[in-house]
Structure 1
């Protein structure tokens, strides 16, 4: 008996490791096209997949290898359009997620691509010969539910009972950053590639931990928190951008303490208490993306404001901000000027200066996506072709007996 117990004990950790290696299928959604249907599969990495067919009734399926389906993902969609009657999703076996399309017509074509930031597998199924029509449809629809939008959460700091920093003449940080956030949303609202969500669009108070919860709940692509800096030194000036990490830099600790509404002493004590958060796998996975995001936005902001207002560039820094701790996506915090500096308070009170800041943030966001997104090249295959091949491993299409 004891020998059996020891063997089981040794096998349990191995099963955990095996499960952790599998890709997570986080969410699945579909959009109707005039000639077919598009399915978007959100994953946590690049996936391998194979295609197969089943008869009576006519079905085509895609097996996502080495993957697990989240419990929250929808299991069945009733489509009933010109090509697809129903879409069903299930955990086919312990390491394969299967997506089945019940077809109304046997003459179909399909196209598959993989996207990054976030990772997605996109499957289009449409009537044979309908690819040209599909291309025209996608070009014409500037505002359409079938477009793959980037969801960006903009977080105007403070609000309501928390005014944030207050300038020499009474200008409040909460009002300045809210106006900048509203301007960013206005600038991007006509662009079909982006969906801008504000954590607040009016003068209300939202706890720090609730702000990233908003972004996590909608699986946002980016989280950007906007603030105005302050210092007891009225000559302190310029713009700076922060990443979430521990630092021993006294000035960065002071800024984080102010934004976290705690003392510098308490901030220093947090190093040991919150160190485990910074070492989490989720945070490590997003750190490189956050570095790129902060770099593109900061460079855009510093260049724009320097050219017009001779602002001082304080660079990209690291600090432990509560508001960034829970973010499950690339994130950064911006200090758009020193409201405690009389000259910069005057500028922050100027409509044109706030618009310049908003425009620079929009440019930085676009640069991030343009320069970091890499579309995986997946060959276009007709329905009678061999299984799709991705990555370096050949995927063999096996005959299946299931009716999933």
Structure 2
């Protein structure tokens, strides 16, 4: 990894300001530092909170994109998974996942065997440079007997076997976020918490900085401002006189930490027997079960994620269908981890599957204002890299 460390950014000499200290804001600061630019990250709460704090801990390698033959994103996700495995091998490890197969649609052993073979060819460099314990093993299919040996409570009726693959998992997500933040700081980034951004400063038709509130209220100057505030990005863009309704239409997603022992030593991808039942993931987490992810239509005007009791009950009912042996009840729920994610066009609950970057100066807004709405934790660095690569030369700012 080559980088050109910048001097730490101070108010008044930052090359760019990043609004939002989630995974996208941190990665933007990191990639800016690698490019020799000094980033000042302004976060209204704590770095890594809100949606970023409540993700499902899996760094996906892009296998699911093969269903639509999206080869570009398959390779992109595998490369970013490899980056995480290399960056923090003590915090990000390969972990096995098992999906029982009942012959529904593409969930057949014959199809999965071909898909795993194709994945191996398309992501041949997925382990390049990694230490042995960080390498991702190729996926394979299991017989009915092998499936039952790993997952004793599997539903036997109609079972044809299982798919077994590895992805990367970050069980200590807070430690990973701290590691990423420190890496950005080592490249010159400065982070200010409890610092809400109140307004944009403009000189002529170009950005000159922002005004912040909080304990250290006042101006922060920089010729570039990147709005990466997640659920609040649309609100901020509108406040800055650069409305972009398409930037972030929210849908609610949440995971549950359940005080029930894991059903298998592997992660599980399970669905109920009813047609169209959602695929749910169960991840062993310190002797308990981490379950995700449930999606709900978001109808509130505000952007503070919260989950209704009825939605928790609906998730538990789906889990009872998909994994009845778990036996999870409302009293077993230790934690509800919600976050607002960008909504897919034309849907009420599905998450958008592509990031969105808007250069507001090209749409009649202030020059030097850019908004980024990301989707996946796994590919946040790649998106940040593209955004930073597209920034104007500092001499032109």
Question: Which TM-score bucket, shorter chain as reference?
Answer: under 0.3
Output the TM-score relative to the length of structure 1.
0.23
TM-score by structure 2 length? 0.24
Q: Give 1 or 2 for the bigger CA radius of gyration.
A: 1
Name which structure has the greater RCO, CA cutoff 8 Å, separation 6+. Answer: 2
